[in-house]
Chains A and B, each alone.
Chain A
């Protein structure tokens, strides 16, 4: 016999939480299915090959349902990889320095001042970053390098770097903080200096968390459309250097989707790019899990040897 009190206390909460949990899983999967339905047409209806989509740079899909255009998305893929890679190169040193500073060097200032300051960055909407980029960074780059205009890969990477900096910093800081105090104490007891402890003990021990931070930052950079769109110039060509404009997957989807004919070749090709983004983010998540597993195994081995 279940009485009402028992149902209310025990089963109701469990039921709500189970339903919410299942709903999230269903939602994720159905987004994938939806993208597949919308985007598979590039290959099934318009008969393009996966090879052409990934490795050709001839992008000229027709905005009609009769097809016959070209759907090589290599310019967009390369543009995304290049801007995000560069953003990571710019952001990573600052992020690691920041993370080490706020955990090892000045934990008190770090906790009271640095961390809140970094966290404010996360809350700023991307359109604000984009607008600052457009009105300040773009003219600045133009004047600095004496270019005809300042819409460059470098501008986009700098904006992205500022946007992923807080993610990488906070996640790496958490990883560093979770390194057991005994590791440090042991190393100090052996006569290591503070810098040697940071370099030789703390960072290697937090490696897994730091890698996770990088992957998280990278996936955030990959998904950003708005801020990048405002500063990259959206030229349909490979960048000749980091000082020339190009285009990325997300900005192309965001700017071209609205005007494209529903179900037309152009529209479908854009959905196929969305599938690619979905697969990439799945890959990133897989990578994070892989790294996390390896590290926990490594740490266990380490503990056993000790």
Chain B
């Protein structure tokens, strides 16, 4: 028994020491600065990718990113538990005015939201007017045959009420009409949403373009004849887009600022577009809310 306890203790100590060494040491033994970021799950894949690329050009900085939702990210950057708060929405909509005022906004990219439907359905339904879209998401229209599709019941797949993606879609695609929560399936996970839409013939949901790069399991729908693409977002003809923000508390955190500047750089901009995010500086239109 005693021997077992000793062995266990030994193993634990080796594990702890190992992980500490891994966290702190680099090859040349230099000091590593750690930046922490949390928040929006729509922005998460981009920041994670940027963190990996940044590590290559700047080995002395390590970026840790987690996804927990915009509200969490903003609350955590505001109380100082992370360096960067990622958010789909402006800080003022989730924090009190004085807390939001202390944060510095960096609009790192623009994200385009696209309505997505099942591939089978996309053979007949390619375009919806804004009014049709509103009627579908408020559950006034219940069958695809009413909007020029096959005789198939509409299955709504949406986001939780608190989701930033949902807020964006509601504001710019549904003209602020509230989605019918009592008649829709909800998921906070884009992977589950993709799975649900691809499995059900009558399903419609919405996703960020970044989840649709190299993905053929679902199809996008045009709104009023305008396809949800990056070009249409840049030239302002496609309306359902929003800024992705990376907030810092004040502007004194140099490591965090350097990382954000790297994401905003031209070099990373190309990689950003390849992942389905729009570069903010290329936008021909702008918004304040």
Given contacts A148-B200, A256-B161, A262 and B183 within 8 Å (CB-CB): no
A255 contacts B71, C-beta separation under 8 Å: no
Shortest CB–CB separation between residue A30 and chain B, in angstroms?
19
Q: Does B124 contact A (CB under 8 A)?
A: no
Point out the residue from B69, B95, B195 that lies within 8 Å of A259, measured CB to CB: B69
B200 contacts A149, C-beta separation under 8 Å: yes
B131 contacts which chain A residues (CB < 8 A)?
A: none
Residue of B nearest to A62 (CB): B161
Given contacts A148-B155, A230-B192, A258-B71, A138 and B187 within 8 Å (CB-CB): no
Point out the residue from A134, A148, A151, A259 that lies within 8 Å of B162, measured CB to CB: A259
Assembled-state Cα–Cα distance A139/B200 (Å): 9
Residue of A nearest to B154 (CB): A148
B96 contacts A258, C-beta separation under 8 Å: no
A134 contacts which chain B residues (CB < 8 A)?
A: 192, 195
A254 contacts which chain B residues (CB < 8 A)?
A: 188
Q: Does B72 contact A (CB under 8 A)?
A: yes
Assembled-state Cα–Cα distance A233/B205 (Å): 13
A138 contacts B186, C-beta separation under 8 Å: no
A249-272 interface with B by 8 A CB criterion = 254-262, 264, 266-267
A237 contacts B183, C-beta separation under 8 Å: yes
Q: How many chain B residues touch the partner (CB < 8 A)?
A: 35
A149 contacts B203, C-beta separation under 8 Å: yes
Most buried by A among B161, B163, B183: B161
Q: Does A234 contact B (CB under 8 A)?
A: yes
Shortest CB–CB separation between residue B74 and chain A, in angstroms?
7
Assembled-state Cα–Cα distance A121/B18 (Å): 31
Given contacts A134-B192, A255-B187, A148 and B69 within 8 Å (CB-CB): no
Residue of A nearest to B163 (CB): A259
Q: Does B233 contact A (CB under 8 A)?
A: no
A261 contacts B183, C-beta separation under 8 Å: no
Assembled-state Cα–Cα distance A233/B187 (Å): 7
A266 contacts B162, C-beta separation under 8 Å: yes
B185 contacts A255, C-beta separation under 8 Å: no
Q: Does B94 contact A (CB under 8 A)?
A: yes
Q: Does B182 contact A (CB under 8 A)?
A: yes
Assembled-state Cα–Cα distance A257/B200 (Å): 28
A261 contacts which chain B residues (CB < 8 A)?
A: 71, 74-75, 93-95, 162
Interface string of A225-262 (1 = CB under 8 A from B): 00001100111110000000101000000111111111
A149 contacts B71, C-beta separation under 8 Å: no
Residue of B nearest to A245 (CB): B185
B95 contacts which chain A residues (CB < 8 A)?
A: 261-262
Point out the residue from B72, B160, B164, B196 that lies within 8 Å of A255, measured CB to CB: B160
A260 contacts B71, C-beta separation under 8 Å: yes
Q: Does B153 contact A (CB under 8 A)?
A: yes
A-B CB pair tally, cutoff 8 Å = 95
A108-158 interface with B by 8 A CB criterion = 134-135, 138-139, 142, 148-149, 151
Q: Does A104 contact B (CB under 8 A)?
A: no
B75 contacts which chain A residues (CB < 8 A)?
A: 261-262
B199 contacts A258, C-beta separation under 8 Å: no
B74 contacts A262, C-beta separation under 8 Å: yes
| Secondary structure type dominating chain A contacts | loop
A52 contacts which chain B residues (CB < 8 A)?
A: none
Q: Does B68 contact A (CB under 8 A)?
A: yes
Interface string of B129-166 (1 = CB under 8 A from A): 00000000000000000000000010100001111100
Assembled-state Cα–Cα distance A149/B187 (Å): 14
B185-215 interface with A by 8 A CB criterion = 185-188, 192, 195-196, 199-200, 202-203
Q: Does B184 contact A (CB under 8 A)?
A: yes
Shortest CB–CB separation between residue B235 and chain A, in angstroms?
30
Assembled-state Cα–Cα distance A149/B196 (Å): 9
Residue of A nearest to B202 (CB): A148
A149 contacts B185, C-beta separation under 8 Å: yes
Interface string of B25-69 (1 = CB under 8 A from A): 000000000000000010000000000000000000000000011
A256 contacts which chain B residues (CB < 8 A)?
A: 160-162, 188
Q: Does B181 contact A (CB under 8 A)?
A: yes
B78 contacts which chain A residues (CB < 8 A)?
A: 262
Q: Does A63 contact B (CB under 8 A)?
A: yes
Q: Does A295 contact B (CB under 8 A)?
A: no
A255 contacts B70, C-beta separation under 8 Å: no
Given contacts A138-B199, A148-B153, A256-B162, A233 and B94 within 8 Å (CB-CB): no
A235 contacts B162, C-beta separation under 8 Å: no
Assembled-state Cα–Cα distance A229/B189 (Å): 10
Closest 8 CB pairs of A and B: A258-B69, A259-B162, A262-B75, A234-B186, A259-B69, A237-B182, A255-B188, A261-B94
Residues of chain A touching chain B, judged by Cβ–Cβ distance below 8 Å, are: 63, 65, 134-135, 138-139, 142, 148-149, 151, 229-230, 233-237, 245, 247, 254-262, 264, 266-267
Residues of chain B touching chain A, judged by Cβ–Cβ distance below 8 Å, are: 41, 68-72, 74-75, 78, 93-96, 153, 155, 160-164, 181-188, 192, 195-196, 199-200, 202-203
Contacts beyond the supplied A258-B70, A262-B71: 12 A-B pairs with Cβ under 8 Å: A138-B199, A149-B185, A151-B185, A233-B186, A234-B185, A235-B182, A237-B183, A258-B162, A258-B188, A259-B69, A261-B95, A262-B78
15 contacts between A and B (CB under 8 A): A63-B94, A148-B200, A149-B155, A149-B196, A149-B200, A149-B203, A235-B185, A255-B186, A256-B160, A257-B71, A258-B71, A259-B69, A259-B162, A260-B162, A262-B78
